[in-house]
Amino acid sequence: MSNITQLLRARKRRHRKYNNVALRRTSLGIAMLLSIFAVLLFIGGTIFYAVVTRDLPSVETIHLLLAPPDGMLLQPTRFYDRSGEHILVELENPAIEQREYVPIKSETNQAKATLPTKLVEATIAIADPTFWHHPGFTTNNLLDPEEHNTLAQQLVSNLLLWNEAPSQRRAIRERLLAAQITSNYGREKVLEWYLNSAYYGNLTYGVDTAAQVYLGKSAADLSLAEAALLAGVAQAPSINPHNAPDEAITRGHEIIAILLDQGNITTAEAQKARKEIIEFREAVSPQETIAPTFINLVWEQLSPHIPIKRLERGGFEIITTLDYDLQIQAACTTKIHLARLEENATSTLPQSCEAARLLPTLTFGTSDRPNNLAANVIILTPHTGEILTFINESPSEVVSAHPTGTTISPFIYLTAFTRGLNPASLLWDIPTIFSEEINQIANPNGEFHGPMRLRQALANDYPIPALATMRQIGAENVWRTLEQFGISAPSSQTKNMITAECPECQTANLFTLLNGGDTTLLKMAQAFGALANQGFFVGKITNEQDILQIRPITIQQINDVKGQIWLDNNTRDTQAVTSTQLAYLMTHILSDEAARWGSLGHPNPLEIGRPAAAKLGRTKQGDDVWTIGYTPQLVVGVWVGRGASDSFEAGELTPKVASTLWHAVMQYSTRDLPAEVWDAPPGITTMAVCDPSGLLPTKSCPSVVNEIFLNGHEPTQPDTLYHTYQVNRETGRLATVFTPPELIDESVYLLVPPEASQWAQDAGLSTPPESYDVIYSPKPSPDAQITAPEMFTNQKGELSIRGSASGDDFRSYRLQVGKGLNPQNWLAIGEDITTPVESGQLETWDTAGLNGLYAIQLIVVRSEQRVDTNTIQVTIDNQCPQVVILYPENGQTLAYQTNPSITFQVQVNDNLGLDRVEYYLDAEKIATQTQSPFALFWRVQRGEHTLKVKAIDMAGNKNKMLVTFVIE
């Protein structure tokens, strides 16, 4: 063999060996990749399976739910009162006598009713034709979580996975469980469970109950036609003999045709079934509950925990917060009250309605008797947030909203408390603040009450002081307070109109106050409940439109019939909506019986024989009246208004229509409770003030009362409303030092601001004389007279007294001063001076530390002890005004809002007479005011601002205060 041949063969051997090695390496790599992929697939599958099967319910649960005689679903869900003794509602069709579990085959030798074979065949034919062949599930529509293709899947979906939202994960879990129950219990048991739990419409679950409700017989006695009909109803529950009888019969015939095609029945059997006339049982009306509106509230609070469909299947006991006795008594009292109002009835009261015997007498004349009235009554516990009673005497069972009217005025004043006002703050109920139209709306009887403390304005429901306060503190601030208390505020458009600076907006402002945004009695009672509970909401947090809110509780506990607790509401949520001190201020006013005697008289329906805070409310037209009141233990709210049609004219409903009903319900509700009071929290001070100014009493103050204040908000200035004047009884003018003492009388007068002068005149109020007495001493001698200062001027500091003291027979002169109109004591200024003065400076008087009216008298002594005198009177004022900026506070940051505005609030006091108050914003003078209240409306601008307020009195004394604030 040649060398070349040998070389070629060696090369081929090397090449073959190399290819074999490469092949082996490639195969090994592929094998490794496949192994890794298999491992990853196994791990992924394991994780996927773990995720899908996590918390997978046990299939044994179905047996516990349906096993007779104690299966959960064999008992209807029941709603009980708070005692657990009275059934309020049974979630079951009233035609059902007893829920029975009927098997497909009898499991004992004893004769027992079983489900007809034709029913089984009809159900399979329409619901799951391949039932006997598949493993309990199919993979059809796997990506559609709403599809349940087999009876086993439907069973699992309804009974095991009811609390899971539709998803592909749920669809897979459903099929796993369907396979398990089919494998563990067999197809026949699955079919039996399905027939005994399927929904047939009208609160009917299980085929035996469906046979009772629609056909008046047991499922064991169904004919072929009836079995086919019920098989169709199970697949479309809305097509049932009560709601759609013709469609239900037609669907039954279609199923008979399917059975015939499948060979399950003969032609003769099909023809006979089609000709059969099925007699349907008439629907039985559901038993009325004593608290339909309350039950609707319970449903709202149940839905986040257990779906309605699951509750309707049965097995639950819902213990509500309803007080059965209070509900019965409040309901019958409300009916009797409305009947009396509409018919002026005086018939004998039912023996069982004890609360109605507490109704005060309230009648109308024949011509003005209201009719077609509706009423709501609610009772809740403020410290637990539980609703004890809800009465809705109206055509609707929905909790309807109504115009709030003046019921919201406590929240106007509560907002004012946060901005420096207090129960003693001076308010005015006078007609000159607003237009005549508004005055008529506000006070229909045409009476205005002049000056009063905030306490009286609120307790007597006087709208004009409330409106004036809202205008002073800013309507937008009031709406924010209302929203904190859960009361709906007006729309943004209405808010903008209210805060606009225009005369016509005043009418809109009052209209909103008296008609307000519509609010339910439930929300209003909860708002007042926070006041009763020292400023705290108590209840359960709910998420409404992504807003967390605390709502009153209607459910104490949810149990199943096996005793397992599903929900326990013993733990309550608490939310502070105002401070304990502010809540106490409001409660103290609303519980002040004497304060409301001015409008309601004594006794009145708001007096129940124990401490109780209460507020009346009315709207502009008089179509809606409210009374909301509370003790420390209970809140009772009442709304009365017109029903479906407007059958009476405006103004016919008075607040007493609601307050008399409130009186009876509140008295009955608290009959077994101890009388409790609200203890003053730390931070509250009680002190004597002058009524109605709310300032410190003076000798001229005719009425001194005790009032409460937040610490640091007590008055520091004496009363400025009442002053004592000395008057010449003959001339009716202010007495002076020249008036003969025997003609002087002292009288106390109420001083009113210019805007109240017309009210004072209409009320016949005496006002002090505006001019001084014209009785003077003889004209002074040119050689003995004071020329400066001028008579009755205001002076301060070091006073230069000028004039003349001279003449041919001049010997000496001296100056003396005395305090008051008729000084009884005189004080010499310096020594006797023997040097005459003509039109020059007589003396210098240092008035430091002196304040008030003073007389200055010049005495010129002449030869032979003759004396010439000249007397003038001046007011000495060395005290600067006091000025405090209440709002905004120094360093405060305020939010810029749509159509924003704020009201600068200033407290200014002066001992003798204030001339003016000047406002400077960022060093620029923006306003001057001469009369209280000192409040200035300002449209905000973003940025940092400095507000300076300067007060100047009649003597020229000045004082100022500055604050810096930021608008973001």
Q: Which residues of 274-312 are buried (b: 16+ CB within 10 A; e: fewer)?
A: bebebebeebeeeeebbbebbbebbeebbeeebeeebbb
Dist CA 830 CA 844 (whole Å): 9
Q: Is the model more confident about 149 or about 47?
A: 149
- The pLDDT of residue 109: 53
Give residue 223's pLDDT band: very low, low, confident or very high (50, 70, 90): very high
Residue 966 has pLDDT above 80, yes or no: yes
Give per-residue pLDDT as tens, 822-850: 787 899 998 999 999 999 999 999 999 89
Lowest mean per-residue pLDDT among 683-687, 788-792, 858-862, 900-904: 900-904
Lowest mean per-residue pLDDT among 38-42, 448-452, 809-813, 890-894: 38-42
- The pLDDT of residue 821: 74
Residue 211 has pLDDT above 80, yes or no: yes
Give the torsion sign (CA, 441, 447, 448, 452): negative
Give per-residue pLDDT as tens, 934-945: 888 888 888 999
Closest of 105, 92, 199 to residue 154, by C-alpha:
199
Give residue 579's pLDDT band: very low, low, confident or very high (50, 70, 90): very high
Is 206 in contact with 195 (CB distance < 8 Å)? yes
**210: number of CA atoms within 13 Å, CB side?**
29
Cis peptide upstream of residue 603 (ω within 30 degrees of 0): yes
Tokens of 22: 């490469």
Residue 436 has pLDDT above 90, yes or no: no
Lowest mean per-residue pLDDT among 420-429, 575-584, 670-679, 718-727: 718-727
Dist CA 395 CA 372 (whole Å): 11
- The pLDDT of residue 17: 56
Is 584 in contact with 709 (CB distance < 8 Å)? no
Give the torsion sign (CA, 956, 961, 962, 968): negative
- Average pLDDT score over residue span 470-489: 84
Is 451 in contact with 750 (CB distance < 8 Å)? yes
Residue 499 has pLDDT above 80, yes or no: no
Residue 512 has pLDDT above 70, yes or no: no
Closest of 274, 235, 219, 12 to residue 104, by C-alpha:
219
Tokens of 469: 């306060």
Dist CA 930 CA 910 (whole Å): 12
**343: number of CA atoms within 13 Å, CB side?**
9
Lowest mean per-residue pLDDT among 76-85, 164-173, 197-206: 164-173
Sequence-separated (6 or more) residues with CB below 8 Å from residue 924: none
Closest of 447, 393, 322 to residue 657, by C-alpha:
393
- The pLDDT of residue 865: 79
DSSP three-state, residue 472? helix
Give residue 108's pLDDT band: very low, low, confident or very high (50, 70, 90): low
Closest of 779, 803, 801 to residue 855, by C-alpha:
801
- The pLDDT of residue 258: 95
Q: Which residues of 170-183 are buried (b: 16+ CB within 10 A; e: fewer)?
A: bbbbbbbbbbbbbe
- The pLDDT of residue 861: 93
Residue 560 has φ and ψ, to the nearest 5°, of -100, 170
Q: How many CB atoms lie within 10 A of CB 628?
A: 27
Residue 252 has pLDDT above 50, yes or no: yes
- The pLDDT of residue 886: 87
Whole-prediction pTM: 0.79
Give per-residue pLDDT as tens, 534-543: 999 999 988 7
Q: Which residues are registered as beta bridge partners of 724?
A: 748
Closest of 934, 910, 921, 918 to residue 963, by C-alpha:
921
Is 914 in contact with 879 (CB distance < 8 Å)? no
- The pLDDT of residue 507: 47
- The pLDDT of residue 344: 56
- The pLDDT of residue 645: 46
Q: Which residues are registered as beta bridge partners of 403?
A: 518
Give per-residue pLDDT as tens, 124-181: 999 999 999 999 998 887 767 778 889 999 999 999 998 888 888 888 888 999 999 9
Give the torsion sign (CA, 261, 263, 266, 269): negative
Q: Which residues are registered as beta bridge partners of 294?
A: none
Residue 493 has pLDDT above 50, yes or no: no
**C-alpha 1: how far from its chain's center?**
114
- The pLDDT of residue 118: 94
To the nearest whole number, what is the mean pLDDT of the chain? Answer: 86
Residue 468 has pLDDT above 70, yes or no: yes
- The pLDDT of residue 501: 45
What are the DSSP E strand ranges found in 593-720?
613-618, 624-630, 635-642, 684-690, 704-710
